[in-house]
A and B are shown apart, each in its own frame.
Chain A
Amino acid sequence: MSADPGRTSHGPESGRGPWSVSGARLLIAATAASLALVAVYLAAGGGAYEPTPVRDPCLPREWRSPDDLDQVAQQFTLSALDGAACELDVSRERLALALSTEESRAAFAAEHDISEDELEAAIRAGLERAIDDADAAGALPPFAATPLRELARQLPVEEAIRLIYGAGDVLALGAGLPERLGDLLPG
C-alpha cells in the first residue's frame, strides 16, 4: 500500500525528516496508549457502570421501626407492591410507576399482556402479603389482621390501590381498627 516511492515501509526505515520514528515503534506506542486507556478505564469501573439492579419483589422484606406509624405505613405500601409485583413477575418499581394513573395502568397491562382480572388479583395478593408482613412484625393492632384480609378480598380495585398508597390512614385508626373496618367494606 505504498503511497510514496521514497517512503515505503517494506525497505529499511530511512529515517528521513525530523521525526525518524520507525514503523514498529509507532505501532508499539499506539498499542501501548490504547491498552493503557482501556486498562485505566476498566480499573476505574468502566465495565461495571450501569444502573443499580432493583430488588427481587418475591424476596421477603425486613420490617423496621414497627412503632413509627409513618414507617409502618410506608413498609405496608412496599410489601403490598412487592406482593403484587411478585404475582405479576415484574419489578416493584415498574408496578409502582404503572399504578400512578389509570392511563399508566392500562399501558402497563397492555405491555405485559395482563388482563384487568389478573391485575386485580395481583393487587389483592399484594395487600394480603402486606398484612401478613405487618402482622408478623407486630405492627398491627391485635386481631386486626383477619378483618384486614377480608377487606383486601372485598374492596373494589380502585379502593384497594388507594389502600396500598394510603395505608397510613387505615393504620392510624389504631385500636379501633377492627370495629371500624366494617365501614370501609361495600354493602
Chain B
Amino acid sequence: MIEDGRVERRLWPVRAGDGALPAAVIGTVALVLADSSIVVLALPEIYRELDVSVATVVWVLISFNLVLALAAVPSARLAASRGPALVTFAGLIVFAAASLACGLAPTIEVLLLARCLQAAGGAAAVCASLELLPAAVGSERRAVAAWAAAGAAGAALGPGVGGLLTEFISWQSIFLVQVPASALLAVPLVAAARREAEVERPAREPAGRPHLAANMALGLISAGLAAALFLVVLLLIEGWRLSPAVAAAAVTVMPVAALATAPLARRIAAGVEARAAAGVILLTGGLAGLGLLPKASVVLTFPPQILVGIGLALTLSALTEAALAGRSSQAIHGGFTIAARHAGVVAGLLVLTPLFTADLDTQRRDAEEAGTAALLDAPLSAGAKLDLAGRIGDRIREEEDRVPVLGPAFEPLPDDPAERDQVTALRATIEDELDRAATHAFSRSFLLAAAFALAALIPIGLARRRLEL
C-alpha cells in the first residue's frame, strides 16, 4: 500500500526496483503507442505495393487507432480483475502475433484485420501496464509521468523509425521487428504474473467517472496531432516527392523538440491548466504555420514542427496528469485517456483524409495545367516542345492520380547549350508549380487540424472555471 496525493489504496504485488519490470512496462507503452503512427511513412509504399488508394490505405492507421480506442477501457477492466501483469503479458503476446501477421499480409484486407488484432493486444498491454507502474516506480505521480512520456515518445518517434525501416529494408520490416521486441518485453512479466497469481487480489474499487474535460481536450489535441504527423509525412513524400529516409529525418524535429522539452516542462511551476493551455496554443500555432508554408522547403517545416513538439510535451503530460490524478483505478482511467486520444486520432483522420485527398487532386490538376502553360509558352522550338510534352504526358499517366515525379521526362538534356539552359529552366518552373500545388493542397487540412487543437482550449477553460463537464 502506498500513499500518493489524495489516494490511498492497495496495489498489485510489484516491488520498486523489481528487476527489469519498470523498463519492460515503459518499453511496452512506447512500443504499442508508436504503432499508432509508425506506419505513417510507409503508407505510400504500402498503397503502391498493395495497389490501393490513399483513402483506403489510411485505414491502416484508422483501424489500429479505432480498435485501440474501443478496447482500452474494457482491457483496463480486465487488468483490474485478472491481474495487470498477466493482462500485459497476454496483450504483448497477441500484439507480437498480430505484428507477424501484419508483416506477412499479402493483401490490404489481411493487413487491416491484423492491425485490428494488434490494437486489441496493444490496448490490453498499455492499459494494464499503468496498473503495474506505480508500485514498480514507487509513486503514482511518477508512474503517470513515465507512462505519459513513454506514450508521447513512442507516438512521436514512430514515424521516423518507420521511415528508416521502410527506406532501408521494407514496410513489412516495421511489423516484423516488433515481434522479437514484444517477446523481449514480455519476459520480465512472466515472473510478475506468477507472483500476482499467488497473492490475494486487491479489493476492486469502483472506478469513478472519467475526467471529461481533460479527456475531451486530449481527444481534440490528438485529432490535431494525427494531422501533424500524418499530413507532414504525406506532404514530404507524396507532395514534395522526398524519399522515406529524408522524410524520416525531417519529421524527427518534432519528437526531438518534444523529448527535449519534456523534462523542462515538468520543472515549470505553472499550474496544469496553464501548461495545458500553453501547449495547445503552441500546437495550434505550429499547425497553422504548416498550413501557411511560404514555399516548398523542408527547413521551413522545422519551426512549426518545433512548436508542435514543445506544445505536445507541455499539453500531453499536463492533461494526462489531470485525467489520472487521484482517480482509481489508474488502469481504467488510463484506459479512458487512451480511448479519448485514439478516438481523437480516428476523428482527425476521418475528417481530414477526404479533405486533403480532394484538395490534392484539385491542386495536382491545377499544377498540371500551370506546368502545361509553362511548357506551351516556353521559348523552345515546336519540335522540342512536342517531344517534351509527350514524355511529360507519359510520366503523368504512369503516376496516375499522384503528384508526378517529372525529372526523368527531361532526361537526356539537349546537346545545344542554349536549348539545354531553356529546358533546365522549364524543368525548374514546372517542378516549382508541382511544389506550389502540393504545398497548397495540404494547407486547408493543416488549418483545420489547428482548429481541432485550438478547440481543446474550451474544455480546458471550462475546467478552470470549475464547470466540470
B436 at the interface (CB under 8 A from A): yes
The smallest C-beta distance from B426 to any residue of chain A, in angstroms, reads 14
Across the A-B interface, how many residue pairs have beta carbons closer than 8 Å?
190
- Contact between chains at B269 and A5 (CB < 8 Å): no
- Best-buried of B268, B279, B366, B393 by chain A (most CB within 10 Å): B268
B273 at the interface (CB under 8 A from A): yes
User: Which of B27-35, B159-167, B280-288, B412-420 touches A?
Assistant: B280-288
B437 at the interface (CB under 8 A from A): yes
The smallest C-beta distance from B348 to any residue of chain A, in angstroms, reads 19
- Contact between chains at A10 and B393 (CB < 8 Å): no
Query: Given the interface contacts A49-B436, A73-B382, does A54 sit within 8 Å of B272 by beta carbon?
Result: no
- Contact between chains at A49 and B293 (CB < 8 Å): yes
A59 at the interface (CB under 8 A from B): no
- Contact between chains at A7 and B304 (CB < 8 Å): no
What residues of chain B lie closer than 8 Å to A30, measured between beta carbons?
277-279, 281-282, 285, 311, 314
- The range of chain B's interface size is 35 or more
B367 at the interface (CB under 8 A from A): yes
Contact residues of B between 278 and 337, Cβ < 8 Å to A: 278-279, 281-282, 284-286, 288-289, 292-296, 300, 303-304, 307, 311, 314, 318, 321-322, 324-325
**0/1 interface trace, chain B 347-389, chain A, CB 8 Å (1 if under):** 0000000000000000101111110110011000110011001
What separation, in Å, do the CA atoms of A100 and B375 have in the docked complex? Answer: 14
B408 at the interface (CB under 8 A from A): no
CB nearest neighbor in A for B213? A1
B464 at the interface (CB under 8 A from A): yes
- Contact between chains at A19 and B272 (CB < 8 Å): no
Q: Which of A2, A20, A55, A100 contacts B272 (CB 8 A)?
A: A2
What residues of chain B lie closer than 8 Å to A97, measured between beta carbons?
368-369, 372, 393, 396
CB nearest neighbor in A for B293? A46
A15 at the interface (CB under 8 A from B): yes
Contact residues of B between 409 and 462, Cβ < 8 Å to A: 433, 436-437, 439-440, 460
- Best-buried of B285, B321, B440 by chain A (most CB within 10 Å): B285
- Contact between chains at B369 and A94 (CB < 8 Å): yes
Q: Which of B211, B285, B437 contacts A50 (CB 8 A)?
A: B437
The smallest C-beta distance from B218 to any residue of chain A, in angstroms, reads 11
B463 at the interface (CB under 8 A from A): yes
CB nearest neighbor in B for A97? B372
Query: Given the interface contacts A2-B322, A45-B294, A49-B439, does A37 sit within 8 Å of B289 by beta carbon?
Result: yes
Query: Given the interface contacts A2-B325, A54-B370, A100-B393, does A26 sit within 8 Å of B289 by beta carbon?
Result: no
- Contact between chains at B269 and A19 (CB < 8 Å): yes
**0/1 interface trace, chain A 157-171, chain B, CB 8 Å (1 if under):** 000000001001000
Q: Which of A31, A37, A54 contacts B304 (CB 8 A)?
A: A37
A135 at the interface (CB under 8 A from B): no
Query: Given the interface contacts A21-B268, A51-B433, does A93 sit within 8 Å of B376 by beta carbon?
Result: yes
What separation, in Å, do the CA atoms of A15 and B268 have in the docked complex? Answer: 9
What residues of chain B lie closer than 8 Å to A7, measured between beta carbons?
269, 271-272
What residues of chain B lie closer than 8 Å to A49, measured between beta carbons?
293-296, 436, 439-440
A114 at the interface (CB under 8 A from B): no
What residues of chain B lie closer than 8 Å to A17, measured between beta carbons?
267-269
What separation, in Å, do the CA atoms of A17 and B303 have in the docked complex? Answer: 28
- Contact between chains at B293 and A4 (CB < 8 Å): no
What residues of chain B lie closer than 8 Å to A13, measured between beta carbons?
269-271
- Contact between chains at A19 and B292 (CB < 8 Å): no
What separation, in Å, do the CA atoms of A96 and B386 have in the docked complex? Answer: 11
**0/1 interface trace, chain A 17-42, chain B, CB 8 Å (1 if under):** 11111111111011101110110011
What residues of chain A lie closer than 8 Å to B282, measured between beta carbons?
30, 33-34
Contact residues of A between 143 and 159, Cβ < 8 Å to B: none
- Contact between chains at B370 and A52 (CB < 8 Å): yes
The smallest C-beta distance from A102 to any residue of chain B, in angstroms, reads 13
CB nearest neighbor in A for B385? A74
- Contact between chains at B281 and A74 (CB < 8 Å): no
B274 at the interface (CB under 8 A from A): yes
- Contact between chains at B376 and A51 (CB < 8 Å): no
- Contact between chains at A29 and B278 (CB < 8 Å): yes
The smallest C-beta distance from B191 to any residue of chain A, in angstroms, reads 32
B203 at the interface (CB under 8 A from A): no
What separation, in Å, do the CA atoms of A25 and B370 have in the docked complex? Answer: 47
The smallest C-beta distance from A51 to any residue of chain B, in angstroms, reads 4
- Contact between chains at A51 and B437 (CB < 8 Å): yes
Query: Given the interface contacts A1-B322, A18-B267, does A51 sit within 8 Å of B279 by beta carbon?
Result: no
CB nearest neighbor in A for B141? A4
- Contact between chains at A27 and B274 (CB < 8 Å): yes
- Contact between chains at A92 and B294 (CB < 8 Å): no
What residues of chain A lie closer than 8 Å to B5, measured between beta carbons?
4-5
Q: Which of B294, B370, B389, B439 contacts A100 (CB 8 A)?
A: B389
What residues of chain B lie closer than 8 Å to A115, measured between beta carbons?
none
Contact residues of A between 118 and 141, Cβ < 8 Å to B: none
**0/1 interface trace, chain A 71-103, chain B, CB 8 Å (1 if under):** 001100110010000000001111011001100
| Known contacts A3-B272, A34-B285; 19 further A-B pairs (Cβ under 8 A) | A1-B464, A5-B6, A13-B271, A19-B264, A19-B269, A26-B270, A27-B278, A30-B285, A37-B303, A38-B292, A41-B293, A70-B381, A74-B382, A77-B376, A77-B382, A91-B369, A93-B368, A93-B372, A93-B373
* Contact sample, A vs B, 6 pairs, CB 8 Å cutoff: A14-B269, A19-B269, A26-B274, A52-B433, A74-B382, A91-B369
